[in-house]
């Protein structure tokens, strides 16, 4: 997973997603990924009005994001900011 330093993450699958200021969170119910201060990252299938759709995130994509968040929290725990 890479971050462009502004607002876009790219997973190894090529999928990109927006995250305002690079901030990513998860709610206590574990069913919503958030970005920035009040936005959400759509991880389920999205059907657009024009008939196109974006598939749900794969288990590998979910794992990649989770692994990155775990790595960040572990680093914070061990060395601080």
Place of tokens 């330093």: 5
At 42 the pLDDT is 92
At 37 the pLDDT is 86
> pTM score, two decimals?
0.87
What 3-state DSSP class applies to 21? Answer: helix
At 81 the pLDDT is 64
Mean pLDDT of each 10-residue bin along the chain, 81 residues long: 95 96 94 92 92 94 97 90 64
Q: In whole angstroms, how far apart are CA 11 and each of 5, 7, 18, 50, 77?
A: 14, 13, 12, 25, 24
């Amino acid at each position: 997973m890479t971050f462009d330093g502004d607002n876009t993450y790219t997973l190894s699958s090529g999928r990109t997603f927006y995250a305002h200021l690079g901030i990513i969170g998860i709610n206590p119910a574990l069913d919503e990924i958030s970005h920035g201060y009040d936005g959400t990252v759509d991880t389920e299938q999205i059907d657009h009005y024009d008939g196109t759709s974006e598939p749900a995130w794969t288990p590998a994509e979910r794992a990649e994001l989770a692994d990155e968040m775990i790595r960040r929290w572990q680093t914070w725990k061990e060395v601080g900011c």
